[in-house]
Amino acid sequence: MKSAKQFRFWCYLVASIAIAGVFSACGQDKSAKTEETKSATAFFPIKVGDRTASLQIAALPNEQMLGLMHRRDLKPDDGMVFVFPRPQRMSFYMRNTPTPLSIGYFDSEGVLKEVYPMYPFDETTVNSRSDRIQFCVEMNQGWYEKNGVRTGDKLDVKALAAALKARGQDPVEYGLRKWVAEEK
């Protein structure tokens, strides 16, 4: 008899919690803005030099490994920015990448230090000379030259921090504390 009472008690308790949850959800203000996390395929407008590029973010290891592989659909100002937690020497290659690209290597302040062409399916590594590179931006080959973006120009790191945040990632984990603080 005692177990039947306990069973009913638990049934009533679970049912009450479920009903309370439904009513509390019904009472929520639908006009309140909810922040939607952007997917890995989302493009973000980020300035590179004086030009605005439309960049996808590769911050997670699986995104960085995939990069722009198999892509033939890049528009003239489309590209990808690879974001690393700390400066280091970089090395990229074009495995399974049919689109000719140019890669720009940027330091932790967002200053463009080096630009190199990259050729379709070429698995020869394109190494940075500097060991202080934190951001790498791949664009269609020749984009930097065509748009007058030269070494010394800057990547908008504040916009990059906002894009990471929109992707649901903490910009501070990528060494962008300075730009997150400026945002507030």
- CB burial of residue 38 (10 Å; 0-12, 13-18, 19+): middle
Domains of the chain: 45-183 (2.60.120.1140)
In this structure, of 19-33, 68-82, 105-119, 153-167, the range with the lowest mean pLDDT score is 19-33
Q: Which pLDDT value is given to residue 181?
A: 61
How big is the CA angle at 85 (ends 155 and 115), to the nearest 5 degrees?
Answer: 40
For residue 136, pLDDT beyond 80: yes
Strands 91-92 and 101-107: unpaired
Please compute the mean of the pLDDT values over residues 133-149 and round it to a whole number. 98
Structure tokens at 95: 């495995």
